[in-house]
Amino acid sequence: MTDETTNRGSNRSQRPNNQEFRTFIGEDWGPRPDGPSRSTVADFTVIRRRALGKQFLGQRLVLPAGELRVRSNDTDYRFRAHSAFAHLTGLGGELEPNAVLVLHPLDGVTEESDETHEAVLYFHPRTPRTAEEFWADSRYGEFWVGARPSLEEMSTMTGIRTDHIDNLPDALAKDLGQVQLATITQADTKIDAQIQELRQRESLTQGEVLDAKLTEAASELRLIKDDWEIAEIQKAIDVTAMGFDDIIASLPRAVNHWRGERVIEGAFAARAREEGNGLGYDTIAAAGNHANTLHWIVNDGQVKEGDLVLVDAGAEVDSLYTADITRTLPVNGTFSPEQKKVYEAVLEACEASLAKANEKGVRFRDIHAAAMVVIARYLEEWGCLPGTAEESLAPDGQFHRRWMPHGTSHHLGLDVHDCAQARREMYLDAYLEPGMVFTIEPGLYFREDDLKIPAWLRGIGVRIEDDILVTDEGAVRLSESIPRTVTDVENWMKTVLNRS
C-alpha cells in the first residue's frame, strides 16, 4: 500500500482539473471592497511592543499566533490566537492562524532608545482569484473561508510591516549566532520545530532560558491594562450582564428540562456569541449540590425549585478580552433563610476584599486574606471549625479552607486567568497599581455528604464574583450594574421573569 492516510481526503473529491475550468472560475469577478483602515488598538500595540523589546536588546523575539487544531478528521476547532500574539498585534476574532509576529533587533540601540526592534508580521495573505488556492484550498481559499487580507491591508490595519509566511525561515536564520532567538513555545508546533533546528545547527544553548524569560515578560506586560484594554473588558462585562438576564429568563424552562443546567448554559452562550466572540471560558451552571464542585462544567443536572444555581460565566468580545462573573441565584426567585445566611456571609467577604483593595500599600495577596477573616468568623459562628477563627487563620491552621479552597482573586484580561506566567513578586506579592484588573470571588461550599457541618448547611454552595479595576482614586467594581445583594437579586429576578 502506498496510499498515505494523510492524503485520503482527496478520495472523496470530485474537483475539476481541466484548464478550461481553471480559467473559467478565475475570471469575471467584480472589484473588491475597500480595505480596512488603521485600527484604534494599533496606537496601543506599538507601545506594548516597545516595552517588551527594551527587555530583550539584541535578541530576536518570535511570537506565534498558534495553529488550527484538529477536532475530528478534517474539521478544526475554531481558532483563538495565543494571548501574547493578540496583545502585541491587536488581532482578535479568529485572525490569523499560523501567523507569527517577529521583533527583529535593531543595531546600535540601548534601553534609552525609542525603538529597539522592528516588528514584522508574517502570515498567509490572499492569493489572486486566478490562483488554484482561491477555489480549491479549504484552509486558505476564499471560496472556503472568505477573503483574506492582502499584505498591504494587514499592514494598514495593524500598523506593522508584513511579509509572507514563506519568508519566515530565512528571517529567523538571519545573523543567527550573533543574534539569539527567544520564542513563545507550545503555541505552534511547526515554529517550535523550526527554532529547535536552527538552535541545534548553530549550537545555541540558551534557548530554554530565553523562551521562559520571554513567556514571563509577555505575561507581566499585561499586568497593567491600558485605556483601550479597560474599555474592552468593560464591553465584555456589559455583554455578560445581558447574558445573566437571559439566564434568569431561561429558568422556568430549565426547571422543566431533564438537563436544566444546559438550558442555562445555552442561554448564556447564545448571547455571548451574538454580541461578542463567544465564551471566555466554559460556563459553570451548577444547580444544588453541583455548586460545591468548583469547576462543574458538565452541566448535565436538573434545576429544581428551591435550589440555588451558581453560574460562573464570562463573554469574550471580538478583541478576545473576557469578563468573569459569578452570581448565585435562587431558582424560585427567593432565598430561603438558610441560603440567605450563607449568601450574606459570602457577600460580606466580597465587601471586605474590596475595602482592603482601597487601602494604601496593599499587596495582591492581602485581598484574599481580608475575605478569609470574614469566612472564618462565620464558620466559627456556625460550629464548623475545630477551634476559633483566629486559630484557623494561622498558617498552621487553615481549617476554613475545607469550605473555601480556592483563591479569592486573579488577574483578568485576554485570559480569564490573565498574566498566569508572571513571577510571584510581580503578581501575588505585588502592590496594587492603577490599571490592574482582577476578580474578587470568595465562596462557601458545603457538600451534601459533609458530616463536619450542621445539617442545615449541607448542599448549599455560594460564590459571588465581580471584576475590579484599580484607579488613581481606588478600586472600583466594573460589574457594579449586575445585582449582588439579596434584595437586589430577588428584585432583579422578579423584573426579568415578569417581562419574559
Mean pLDDT of 78-100: 95
Residues in a beta bridge with 161: 120
Q: pLDDT at position 8, please?
A: 52
What is the crossing angle of helices 227-255 and 260-275, to 10°? Answer: 150
Q: pLDDT at position 111, please?
A: 81
For the CA atoms of 350, 355, 356, 358, the dihedral, rounded to the nearest 10 degrees, stands at 130
Average pLDDT, the chain: 96
Sheet containing 308-313, strands listed edge to edge, beginning at the edge strand earlier in sequence: 284-287, 308-313, 325-330
Q: What confidence tens digit (pLDDT) does each residue in 323-373 have?
A: 999 999 999 999 999 999 999 999 999 999 999 999 999 999 999 999 999
Mean pLDDT of 163-173: 98
The proportion of the chain whose per-residue pLDDT surpasses 70, expressed as a percent, equals 97
* 359: DSSP letter: S
What are the DSSP calls for 107-163, one per residue? TT--TT-S--EEEEEEE-PPPPTTSHHHHH-TTT-HHHH-PPPPHHHHHHHHSSEEE
Q: pLDDT at position 1, please?
A: 42
**pLDDT band with cut points at 50, 70 and 90 for residue 11:** low
Cα separation of 230 and 443, whole Å? 26
**pLDDT band with cut points at 50, 70 and 90 for residue 3:** very low
Helix (H), strand (E) at residue 407 = none
Q: What confidence tens digit (pLDDT) does each residue in 415-471 have?
A: 999 999 999 999 999 999 999 999 999 999 999 999 999 999 999 999 999 999 999
**pLDDT band with cut points at 50, 70 and 90 for residue 10:** low
| Cβ partners under 8 Å of residue 200, min gap 6 | none
Query: What's the Cα-to-Cα distance from 154 to each of 35, 125, 133, 405, rounded to whole Å?
Result: 9, 9, 19, 46
Task: Write out the three cell numbers for 366.
Answer: 492581602
Backbone angles phi, psi at 475, to 5 degrees: -90, 135
Domain 227-499 bears CATH identifier 3.90.230.10 = yes
Backbone angles phi, psi at 163, to 5 degrees: -155, 160
Domain 17-24+34-220 bears CATH identifier 3.40.350.10 = yes
Mean pLDDT of 375-379: 98
Helix (H), strand (E) at residue 253 = helix 227-255
Task: Write out the three cell numbers for 37.
Answer: 483602515
Is pTM beyond 0.75? Reply is: yes
Contact 63, 56 (CB under 8 A): no
Give strand ranges (E) for 154-276: 161-164, 180-183
Mean pLDDT of 82-93: 97
Amino acid, res. 499: R
Cα separation of 337 and 308, whole Å? 12
Judged against a pLDDT cut of 80, whether residue 13 lies above it is answered with no
| Cβ partners under 8 Å of residue 31, min gap 6 | none
Q: pLDDT at position 58, please?
A: 95
Mean pLDDT of 35-63: 97
Judged against a pLDDT cut of 80, whether residue 2 lies above it is answered with no
How is the chain split into domains, by residue range?
A: 17-24+34-220, 227-499
Cα separation of 185 and 388, whole Å? 48
Cα separation of 125 and 133, whole Å? 11
Per the listing, cell 452562550 goes with 269
* 403: DSSP letter: T
16 or 242, higher pLDDT: 242
Q: Is 71 helix (H, G, I), strand (E, B) or coil?
A: strand
> CA gyration radius for the chain?
26
Q: What confidence tens digit (pLDDT) does each residue in 382-403 have?
A: 999 999 999 999 999 999 999 9
Q: pLDDT at position 7, please?
A: 57
Judged against a pLDDT cut of 70, whether residue 5 lies above it is answered with no
Mean pLDDT of 136-145: 92
* 497: DSSP letter: H
Stretch among 74-78, 160-164, 282-286, 449-453 having the lowest mean pLDDT: 74-78
Contact 65, 100 (CB under 8 A): yes
Tell whether omega for the bond before 359 is within 30 degrees of 0, i.e. cis: no
Q: What confidence tens digit (pLDDT) does each residue in 199-215 have?
A: 999 998 889 999 999 99
| Cβ partners under 8 Å of residue 322, min gap 6 | 233, 236, 280, 281, 314, 315, 316, 412, 413, 414, 415, 416
Chain centroid to Cα 45, Å, comes to 18
Judged against a pLDDT cut of 70, whether residue 282 lies above it is answered with yes
* 413: DSSP letter: S
